[in-house]
Amino acid sequence: MLTKKQWLYVSLSSWLIASLFNVSKLILSLRPQRLSRFQFNSLDEFWYQYITHILFCFVVFVLNFYAYRSRRLKLKDSIWSLILFNVILFFIIVIFNYKIHIELFEFTRKPIIAFGYIARYALSVALIILVFKILILNQETQNKQKRIHQLELETKTAQHQQLKNQINPHFFFNTLNSLSSIVAEKPEKATDYISYMSKIFRQSLTDQPDLVTLKDDIEFVEAFIKLQKLRYGEAFEVNFKLDIQAYEKKVLSMGLQTLLENALKHNVIKKDKPLKINIFNKDNYVWVEHNLQPKQNPVKGENFGLSSLQKRAQWSQQNSVIIQKQNETFSVGLPLSL
């Protein structure tokens, strides 16, 4: 359905366009005896043409809007689809209205009336297409601005949520507990552990563009991997199988870490059940694939990380994140762009 504002625009535009082509006749309608110069037999015939002209413009406007809303009319793809749609409407309505006119006013000069309908309605259609494009482009611009604003909010929310996930008490408890064990058993590794933690926090708190090179994202995620390796040991394994050409392509910032966190969150990680993750590129995607060994008590949540990546990819890269789940593996593909 059209909004109230769109109904108002359609109504006013229809009246203005019809009046533009009938302004001289409107003036002369105040003196009915002079209408004969426009081949009108009566004042009723004039008002019939004027009102039907307004209705013609209104109907064409409304049908254009509904065709656009139903996606049968693709304005941004080609102007020819818009023109063809309106040409078809033009011929249908002109023929229909012309026949009614002839039946109502028997003494009308048919060739002149037919030419008048074709000329006035064709020019009206041209103006309608122009006004319709302006209205739709204005609407699309407003929608785009809303999407930009929404994406900015979602990006800030994602950054905030990621920060919360990293600095929440559970995270501190696990990392400090792991650090305590490392200090007691392998004190020489404690400095490395603290260094990796520091790098992760520093990177998380730094503003970054939404897209970074795959090389930069891997350099960042390596600190996260090393931190988890110190924590889980041989129970956590990550293998990189990437082409050199892929390193300079763009990927969502902190996208790889989000996928690794997701794997750690939902799967059992033990020495006898190691979590094995493969990171590779294929078909212009970087894939994070791991073996499935879900926890007995699944972590409750809204799958915020994957949902956020999907929305960011659609906006920043006009592409989609691919999620594939099989019997023994779970894979997520992040799009790569130039």
For residue 283, the domain's CATH number is 3.30.565.10
Residue 85 belongs to a domain: yes
> Does one domain contain both 108 and 15?
yes
| Full domain range(s) for residue 139 | 4-149
Residue 283, classed as helix, strand or coil, is: coil
Residue 10 belongs to a domain: yes
> Does one domain contain both 128 and 259?
no
What is the C-alpha separation between 314 and 321, in angstroms, rounded?
Answer: 8
What is the C-alpha separation between 256 and 290, in angstroms, rounded?
Answer: 13
Domain endpoint, select from 128, 149, 170: 149
Domain endpoint, select from 115, 133, 149: 149
The secondary structure of residue 199, as a DSSP letter, is H
What is the C-alpha separation between 179 and 200, in angstroms, rounded?
Answer: 15
Domain endpoint, select from 149, 168, 193: 149
What is the C-alpha separation between 26 and 328, in angstroms, rounded?
Answer: 78
> Does one domain contain both 215 and 129?
no
What is the C-alpha separation between 17 and 24, in angstroms, rounded?
Answer: 13
What is the C-alpha separation between 108 and 45, in angstroms, rounded?
Answer: 9
Residue 197 belongs to a domain: no
What is the C-alpha separation between 62 and 6, in angstroms, rounded?
Answer: 9
> Does one domain contain both 42 and 120?
yes
Is the whole-model pTM more than 0.85? Answer: no
Q: From first to last of the 338 residues of the chain, give the pLDDT tens digit.
A: 677 877 888 888 888 888 888 777 666 666 655 555 555 556 777 788 888 889 888 888 888 887 777 765 655 556 677 777 788 888 888 888 888 877 777 655 677 777 777 888 888 888 888 888 887 788 778 888 888 878 777 776 666 466 445 544 545 565 666 677 777 777 777 777 777 777 766 666 666 677 899 998 998 888 888 888 877 888 999 999 999 999 999 999 888 988 998 898 889 999 889 999 999 999 999 999 999 998 887 655 546 678 888 888 887 888 999 999 988 999 999 999 98
Instruction: State residue 334's pLDDT score.
Output: 96
> Does one domain contain both 118 and 43?
yes
> Does one domain contain both 10 and 143?
yes
> Does one domain contain both 22 and 140?
yes
Residue 46 belongs to a domain: yes
Residue 180 belongs to a domain: no
Residue 44 belongs to a domain: yes
Ordered DSSP codes for 22-45? HHHHHHHTTSGGGGGGGT-SSHHH
Structure tokens at 188: 């020489």
> Does one domain contain both 242 and 137?
no
Instruction: State residue 107's pLDDT score.
Output: 58
> Does one domain contain both 143 and 9?
yes
Instruction: State residue 74's pLDDT score.
Output: 58
The amino acid that residue 317 corresponds to is Q
> Does one domain contain both 113 and 227?
no
> Does one domain contain both 8 and 138?
yes
Structure tokens at 304: 């915020």
Residue 17 belongs to a domain: yes
Is residue 333 packed enough to be buried (19+ CB in 10 Å), middle (13-18) or exposed (0-12)?
Answer: buried
Instruction: State residue 163's pLDDT score.
Output: 46
Residue 200 belongs to a domain: no
Strand partners, 288: 279, 332
Q: How many domains does the chain have?
A: 2
Instruction: State residue 329's pLDDT score.
Output: 93
